[in-house]
Amino acid sequence: MKIAPFGVEQWMNEWEEGAVTNLAETCVDSMTVENLLDISGLRDEIMDQMMKLRLSYGDILGSVELLDSIASMYEHAARGSVIVMNGGSAANFISLYTLIEPGDEVICVYPAYQQLYSIPESFGASVRFLRLRPENGFKADLNELRGMVTNRTKVICINNSNNPTGAIMDHSELEQIVRIADSAGAWLYSDEAYRFMVHDASKQIPSAADIYERGIATCSLSKCFSLAGLRLGWVIGPESFIKEVACRRDYTTISCGRIDDLLGRVAIKNRDRIFSRNLDIVRRCAVILDDWVRSEERIDYVKPEAGTTAFLHYDYDIGSEDFCRRLYRKDGTFLLPGACFGPEFDRYLRIGYAYSPGVLEDGLRLVSGFLRDLDEEAGSKN
């Protein structure tokens, strides 16, 4: 089996460790264990539980408490419709491993998190792209989707909210996509890693698993919970599908860590407090980013509606990888080149803007300094 190199992850692996100012981080400002326990208000009690925890394999499919707490975040999920994995990436892999057979037809939004199309391709599926265009606010053209679906379509993959653009599919759009999927008997697969970080409180994104009988959703503690180090993700879907996932999970995972399970339960139980903290950070940072974009004549974007990432378009005669390398080598400022999402995005940059307001402000000043260098270079050539 051959698989395409994972552009985003390979770039992050190569450059992130030495970054001085990280504007590629996609998690909301990560919490410490101490932060999490303080939020819970049960620091001593939880520490005592952790110190006495026997480090066996534990509950193979996850503790009953963890499964029930995850299910409680969805309208129609029950314990049997949840399975936990080592992070959202593993949740995506095991789900697509279960769904996809050679020769299947998959439609995937594009750009999107690369797992959603490269994994099906590696399993022998024919993948077609539903392109999200900036002139349409990076929203899906549902008429185009209707024209793409055939009686061979097995899965429609979406990324809601979208990584890298921050665009969302609202309830009305999702209902239309469900009708399109249902017309073909297709599954609707939704990576919902950022679903709980919608900037406008009046807009909420329903889970695909809650609105469609063949809806599958994945999520994790990494992005919205600021707990990527716990490596805990999950799949929500029909119980029959989850049983099939469990058969394959035996070959890949055995169980998740018992400390992850314990702290994951603490996090989900206190999700309202965590989300309040994180939405405050995200919303303040989104304003800072928007003000900066407005101040830079040669930078534009579609303002993100959710999540922690935005897709910046620039008007300079330099490829995105070269842009990011030069910026990094100048003063350690780290951005992700749009080319990691495909060659047609080579004048884009993905910025992770919700690490913290102070880091964002410092980083944007440094990016502006680099843009002035590019302006001078362009002027000297004229």
pLDDT digits (tens, 9 = 90+) for 134-160: 999 999 999 999 999 999 999 999 999
Distance separating alpha carbons of residues 304 and 11, to the nearest angstrom: 23
Distance separating alpha carbons of residues 347 and 158, to the nearest angstrom: 23
Helix 258-269, helix 271-295: angle, nearest 10: 80
- Cβ neighbours of residue 323 closer than 8 Å, sequence gap 6 or more: 314, 316, 335, 337, 349
pLDDT in tens, 320-361: 999 999 999 999 999 999 999 999 999 999 999 998 999 999
Q: What is the DSSP letter of 179?
A: H
pLDDT value, residue 286 = 98
The pTM for the full model equals 0.96
Domain boundaries, the chain: 7-32+273-381, 56-269
In this structure, CATH architecture of domain 7-32+273-381: Alpha-Beta Complex (3.90)
Using the predicted structure, report yes or no on whether residue 380 has a pLDDT greater than 90. Answer: no
Using the predicted structure, report yes or no on whether residue 16 has a pLDDT greater than 90. Answer: no
Listed in sequence order, the DSSP H helices in the chain are 7-15, 33-40, 43-51, 64-71, 88-99, 115-122, 142-148, 171-183, 208-211, 239-249, 258-269, 271-295, 320-331, 357-381
For the chain, what is the radius of gyration of the CA atoms? 21
Maximum Cα–Cα distance for the chain, whole Å? 70
CATH number for the domain formed by residue range(s) 56-269: 3.40.640.10
The tally of CA atoms less than 13 A away on the side-chain side of residue 225 is 29
pLDDT value, residue 17 = 86
- Cβ neighbours of residue 296 closer than 8 Å, sequence gap 6 or more: 368, 371
**The two structure tokens encoding residue 19:** 């970054």
Distance separating alpha carbons of residues 224 and 288, to the nearest angstrom: 19
pLDDT in tens, 58-107: 999 999 999 999 999 999 999 999 999 999 999 999 999 999 999 999 99
Distance separating alpha carbons of residues 344 and 202, to the nearest angstrom: 34
Here the contacts of 130-137 (C-beta below 8 Å, separation 24 or greater) are 132/162, 132/165, 132/167, 134/302, 134/311, 134/313, 137/167, 137/302
